[in-house]
Chains A and B, each alone.
Chain A
Amino acid sequence: METLLACCIGFLTACGVFLMLRGRTFPVAMGLTMLSYAVNLFLFSSGRLNLQGAAVLGMSENYADPLPQALVLTAIVIGFAMTAFLVILAIRARSDLGNDHVDGKLPDSDGRRKENGA
C-alpha cells in the first residue's frame, strides 16, 4: 500500500510540474490542480497509513490520526478556491492580452517573441 501511494503521489507531482512548465495558461492551471491533488494525498498520508481505523475514540480497535484529515480538508477547500480564481484570471488574461500565453506574448515560429502574436 505504501509503495502504491508513494508512486501515485510521485507520478501526480511529476505530471503537475511538467504541465506547470508549459507556456499556456490552461496546462499551467491543470498542472497546479495535479500538484494540489498530490499535496492532498501526501498530507493525508502524514498521519500514517492504516486500514479500518476510526478517527473517533471508542468506535474501533485501532485509531487513525484525525488531524491530517482536518488539515487535508482545509487544504482541499483552499486549493479548490485558488484554482477557481486562477481559471477566471486566465480567462480574463486571454481577453485582455489577446492570447493565452502566460507571458502575454506568443513565441514566433523561429523562437523569438513578438507582441500580441498578431
Chain B
Amino acid sequence: MSHLIIAPILLPILTAIIIMLPPVHYVPNRRRLVSIIATAIQLIISCFLLWETQQNGLTFYALGDWQPPFGIILVADTLSVVMVCLTTFLALAAICYGAAGEDVRGSFFHPLFHFQIMGINGAFLTGDLFNLFVFFEVLLIASYGLLIHAGGKNKTKAAVHYVVLNLTGSAVFLFSLAILYGALGTLNIADMALKVSTLPPEDVLLVKAGGLLLLIVFSLKAAILPLQFWLPDTYAAASPPVAALFAVMTKIGVYALLRVYTTIFGESAGPLAGLGMNWLWPFGLATIVLGAIGVMGSLDFRKVVANLVIVSVGTLVCLVAMQNTAATAAVLYYTVHSTLVTGALFLLADMIANQRGKAGDRLVSGRRVAQPVLLGSLFFAAAVTVAGLPPLSGFIGKLMILQAAVTPLQQALLWSVVLVSSLMVLIGLSRAGSILFWRVTGSESGGDKALPLQVFAVSLLLLASPMLVVFAGPLTELSVAAAVQLEDVSQTISTILLESSVSGGAQ
C-alpha cells in the first residue's frame, strides 16, 4: 500500500500550518515563498501519483489501516488523480497571482487557500460518501473565508447568499446520506455499488429517494439550471485569485455526479440503473442556453466569465447524463480545458479592470488600458480557447463532445445547443473585447502596469491550452482509459473489497 495517495491532502494542511507559524506569518514575502514552493512540490507529487496510477491501475489507501468496507478509504484512479493535478496546477497559478499584492489586502489568504486545496483534493480522492461530505465542508468553510477576503459590501452580500445556500445543501446532503445508509448499511462507494446490485425490491424506492436527493446536492454544487442563480454574483464578487480557484469548485459537483452515478447507479444497479439521468439531460441543455444568454447580456466582464463557467458546467452535465465511454472521456478533457481557461479569464479580468481606471470591468467606454498589446493578446488567446475555435484546446474539447452523442435525438439536441451557444459566446466575447480595448475615451491610460508575477500566472494557465493541443493524442488516450476504468465497476469492487478481505482478513 503506497502512502503517496494521502500526500495531496496532508501537504496542503501542513503548508497552511507552517504559514501560520510566527516566523513565516509576519513576513509577507516568506508567506508567499513558502506558499508557492509548497504548491509546486504538491504539483510534482500529484504528477508522480498520476504516473504511478498509470502503472498500477486503481489503488486505494485505508486510513489507519481500517480495511474497507469498515474503514474510510482514499481511492486513486486516473480520473481522481487527474483532477488533483488540475486543482494543484490552477492553485499554483492563482497563488502566484495572489502573491503579486492581492494577498495582503486581507488576513490569512495563504493558509485559507491551502485549506481549500486540501478540501478539494480530499473530495476528489475519497472513496466514502460521508468522507466526501466532510471534505465538502472543509473546502466550503475555507471558501467562505476566502470569499470575503479583502472585504467590501458586495463580498459580504454575496457571502451571505453563498453560505446560506451551501448550509442548506449540506443539510440535504446529510438527509440523503442517512436515507442511503439506512437502506444499504454502508457509505463506502464501492460497497454501495455492490449492495445496490442485490437490493431487495422493497428498498428500491428508498434508495431512489436518497439518490435523487444526492442529485440535488451535487447539482447545487455544480450550479445546474434551477440551482445556479448564486454563481454569477458570488464569482464576480470574489477577489481574482479566489475566483480563479473557484473555477474548479463547480467541477467538484460534476465529478461527484460522475463518480456516484456511474459507480453506484451504473449499469449493474438493476432497477436503479441510470437514476436521475433523464432529469440531468434537459436541465444540462437548458443550463448551456441560459449561460450563453448570460454571456451576451452581462454588464461587466467578470459576470461574463462567471456565465462562461455556467456554460461549461451545462456542457459537462449533458455529457455525464449521456453515460457512455466517449462522453466520460470528453468530460475529463473538457474539464481540464475549461477550468484552466476560465481561471485565466478571472485573473485577466482583474488585470484589465485595474488598468481602466474608474470604469473597472464594467462594459462601458473607459480609459485606455496601459498595456493594450499584452492584455489584448492574452484576452484574444483566452477568448479563442473558451469559445472553442481552432487551433486551441477548446476546439478539440468541442469535437470530443460532439462525437460523444450517439443516438439521433442526442445528436440533434446536443449539436444544435452546443454550436449555437458557442456562437453566442463568441458574440458576447467579441462585444466585451471591443468595448474593453477599443471604445476608449481620452488618450492617457488609467492605473498601473501589470506586475510580472501576474502576467506569469495568466500565461501559465493560458499556455496549458496549446499544450493540451500538442499532446492531444496521449491526453485523449488518458481520458478514454480513465473513462473505461471508471465504468468497470466490477473491477473497482473486486479491487477494493476482495483484496482487502484477503490481506486484512476482515469479513
Point out residues on A near B: beta carbons under 8 Å. Answer: 16, 20, 25, 28, 32, 35-36, 38-39, 42-43, 45-48, 67-68, 71, 74-75, 78-79, 81-83, 85-86, 89-90, 92-93, 96-97, 102-104
5 tightest A-B CB contacts, nearest first: A46-B182, A46-B178, A43-B178, A96-B156, A39-B174
Say whether A103 contacts B157, CB under 8 Å: yes
Q: How far is the CA of A28 from the CA of B168 in the complex (A)?
A: 11
Mask: chain B, 133-156; 1 = CB below 8 Å from A; 0 = not: 010010011001000100111001
A interface SS class: helix
11 contacts between A and B (CB under 8 A): A39-B178, A42-B174, A42-B178, A43-B174, A45-B182, A68-B178, A75-B174, A85-B144, A86-B163, A89-B163, A92-B148
Within 8 Å of chain A (Cβ to Cβ): is B6?
no
Say whether B137 contacts A67, CB under 8 Å: no
Say whether A35 contacts B171, CB under 8 Å: yes
Say whether B153 contacts A32, CB under 8 Å: no
Contacts A36-B171, A42-B174, A96-B156 known; list 4 others, CB within 8 Å. Answer: A47-B182, A86-B164, A102-B160, A104-B160
Say whether B130 contacts A74, CB under 8 Å: yes
Say whether A32 contacts B159, CB under 8 Å: no
Chain A residues with CB under 8 A of B134: 74, 78
Say whether B168 contacts A20, CB under 8 Å: yes
Q: Which of B137, B156, B170, B181 contacts A93 (CB 8 A)?
A: B156
Within 8 Å of chain A (Cβ to Cβ): is B161?
yes
Name which of A67, A75, A104 has the most chain B CB atoms within 10 A of its CB.
A75
Within 8 Å of chain A (Cβ to Cβ): is B10?
no
Q: Which residue of B lies closest to A67 (CB)?
A: B181
Q: Which residue of A lies closest to B145 (CB)?
A: A85
Q: How far is the CA of A92 from the CA of B171 in the complex (A)?
A: 24
Chain A min CB distance to B157 (Å): 5
Say whether B153 contacts A97, CB under 8 Å: yes
Q: How far is the CA of A28 from the CA of B177 in the complex (A)?
A: 24
B interface SS class: helix
Asked whether A35 and B168 contact (CB < 8 A) given A43-B174, A74-B134, the answer is yes
Q: Which residue of A lies closest to B130 (CB)?
A: A71
Say whether B164 contacts A28, CB under 8 Å: yes
Say whether B157 contacts A32, CB under 8 Å: no
Q: Which of A46, A82, A89 contacts B160 (CB 8 A)?
A: A89
Name which of A42, A86, A96 has the most chain B CB atoms within 10 A of its CB.
A96
Say whether A92 contacts B167, CB under 8 Å: no
Chain B min CB distance to A40 (Å): 8
Q: How far is the CA of A26 from the CA of B286 in the complex (A)?
A: 35
Say whether A85 contacts B168, CB under 8 Å: no
Asked whether A104 and B163 contact (CB < 8 A) given A43-B174, A85-B144, the answer is no
Within 8 Å of chain A (Cβ to Cβ): is B175?
yes
Chain B min CB distance to A91 (Å): 10
Q: Which residue of B lies closest to A82 (CB)?
A: B167
Within 8 Å of chain A (Cβ to Cβ): is B100?
no
Within 8 Å of chain A (Cβ to Cβ): is B216?
no
Q: How far is the CA of A90 from the CA of B144 in the complex (A)?
A: 13
Say whether B174 contacts A25, CB under 8 Å: no
Say whether B171 contacts A90, CB under 8 Å: no
Q: How far is the CA of A92 from the CA of B140 in the complex (A)?
A: 19
Chain A min CB distance to B66 (Å): 12
Q: Which of B151, B156, B171 contacts A97 (CB 8 A)?
A: B156
Chain A residues with CB under 8 A of B161: 102
Q: Which of B152, B159, B177 contacts A89 (CB 8 A)?
A: B159
Asked whether A71 and B181 contact (CB < 8 A) given A89-B159, A89-B160, the answer is yes
Name which of B163, B171, B177 has the most chain A CB atoms within 10 A of its CB.
B171
Within 8 Å of chain A (Cβ to Cβ): is B427?
no
Mask: chain B, 230-253; 1 = CB below 8 Å from A; 0 = not: 000000000000000000000000
Say whether B156 contacts A92, CB under 8 Å: yes
Name which of A45, A82, A90 has the most chain B CB atoms within 10 A of its CB.
A82
Q: How far is the CA of A86 from the CA of B175 in the complex (A)?
A: 21
Within 8 Å of chain A (Cβ to Cβ): is B179?
yes
Chain B residues with CB under 8 A of A92: 148, 156
Say whether A39 contacts B168, CB under 8 Å: no
Q: How far is the CA of A39 from the CA of B130 in the complex (A)?
A: 14
Say whether B157 contacts A20, CB under 8 Å: no
Chain A residues with CB under 8 A of B152: 96
Say whether B160 contacts A93, CB under 8 Å: yes
